[in-house]
C-alpha cells in the first residue's frame, strides 16, 4: 500500500545536498535543489552504483561509476551510458520534516 513515510529533515537534506535514506526497506536518494527536495531510487539504472555517492550539479545527479546523469525532478536520463529513467517519488515537507510517497 502506498503511504507517506517520514525519511529525514529539510535541514539535513539541505546541508547534505544529496543523501541516502531508507523508506521501509527501499533505499532512496534525496536531493536539495533551489529550496525544493526531490527523491529517486538510490540505485543507478545502469549498474551497481549509488546515486547518493555521485555529484549533484543543479538539478542533475551524476553517477559516480560512469558519469551518466539523471534529472532528479523527473528521473530522465540526460546522457550516455544511461537510457532507462530512475524512478522518482513524490516528496512533501511538513514543519521541516520530509516525507516520501512510496509503495
Residues in contact with ligand FES by CB under 6 A are 44, 46-47, 49, 63, 65-66, 68, 81-82
Nearer to ligand FES, 11 or 79 (CB): 79
Name the grid cell of 14.
539541505
Q: In whole angstroms, how close is the CB of 94 to ligand FES at the nearest point?
A: 32
Nearer to ligand FES, 65 or 93 (CB): 65
Q: In whole angstroms, how close is the CB of 103 to ligand FES at the nearest point?
A: 23
CA distance 32 to 20: 12
Helix (H) or strand (E) holding 61: strand 60-62
Q: In whole angstroms, how close is the CB of 17 to ligand FES at the nearest point?
A: 18
Nearer to ligand FES, 14 or 66 (CB): 66
Distance of CA 82 to the CA centre of its chain: 16
Nearer to ligand FES, 20 or 101 (CB): 20
Q: In whole angstroms, how close is the CB of 38 to ligand FES at the nearest point?
A: 18
Backbone dihedral region for residue 75 (phi beyond 0: left; psi -120 to 50: alpha; all else: beta): left
Helix (H) or strand (E) holding 33: strand 26-33
Contact 39, 22 (CB under 8 A): no
Amino acid at each position: 500500500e502506498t503511504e507517506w513515510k517520514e525519511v529525514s529533515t529539510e535541514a539535513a537534506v539541505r546541508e547534505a545536498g544529496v543523501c541516502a535514506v531508507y523508506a521501509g526497506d527501499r533505499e532512496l536518494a534525496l536531493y536539495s535543489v533551489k529550496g525544493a527536495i526531490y527523491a529517486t531510487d538510490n540505485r543507478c539504472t545502469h549498474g551497481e552504483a549509488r546515486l547518493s555517492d555521485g555529484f549533484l550539479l543543479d538539478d542533475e545527479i551524476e553517477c559516480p561509476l560512469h558519469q551518466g546523469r539523471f534529472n532528479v525532478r523527473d528521473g530522465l536520463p540526460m546522457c550516455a551510458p544511461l537510457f532507462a529513467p530512475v524512478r522518482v517519488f513524490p516528496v512533501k515537507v511538513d514543519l521541516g520534516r520530509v516525507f516520501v510517497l512510496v509503495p
